[in-house]
Amino acid sequence: MGGMDEWPIAQRIVVWVIPVVFAITVHEVAHGWVAKLRGDNTASMLGRLTLNPVKHIDWIGTVLVPGILILSFTGFIFGWAKPVPVNDKNLANPRVDMALVAVAGPVANVLMALLWAGIARIGVSVEVESISSPLIYMGIAGVSINLVLALINLIPVPPLDGSRVLACLLPPKWAERFNRIEGLGLIVLLLLLVTDTLSVILGYPLYYLQQFFFTIAGI
């Protein structure tokens, strides 16, 4: 089996694009689905509970940023979609339910990583290289992007999902103050990315999680 580095650029892009788009899409749908279960139909009424990626595309987060990272071949790829709208006033227990809605995204990504590991395992068992190689490499890409999204979103910096969970654990007054720094949170994330601190923070957990899922895949 030849390495992905030997493939034409177009093929390498395709191998990454499909897992990236679906990782971001499923992440957002999971938020809306759990919100609906907890009493808020906002996402459903706006047609956002669909796996059609077009409904969720953010041209910067879903196209530009992942595209640049794919073409740079850094191996560290992430992105985002248009946030699924959630009206916490419709939730039965807003503080707890918002945390459940938030954690649904990373959980969905972990489950997607498991699915992609299964696809890679199918590729390993296929003896025809023209079929096995795309399945294996797309499976590897799927595992990687979903684990990256899950880990990044668990960082407790607004507006990431981890911040919603932390806000639920804080006393109400502290949570209110914490949520006010959402604008600064974006600056913090940008600094973490530019200074390569983000990859340092995620490096060890990402590596060991990847090894676990790659073992499942038989790679």
Beta-carbon neighbour count of residue 10 at 10 Å? 8
* Of 152, 150, 145, the residue nearest 188 (C-alpha): 152
As separate numbers, helices (DSSP H) first and strands (DSSP E) second, the chain gives 9, 0
Q: Are 69 and 78 in contact (CB under 8 A)?
A: yes
Q: Which of the following is catalytic: 6, 28, 127, 129?
A: 28
Q: Are 108 and 175 in contact (CB under 8 A)?
A: no
28: annotated active-site residue: yes
Q: What does the longest C-alpha to C-alpha distance in the chain come to?
A: 60
- The residues annotated as belonging to the active site are 28
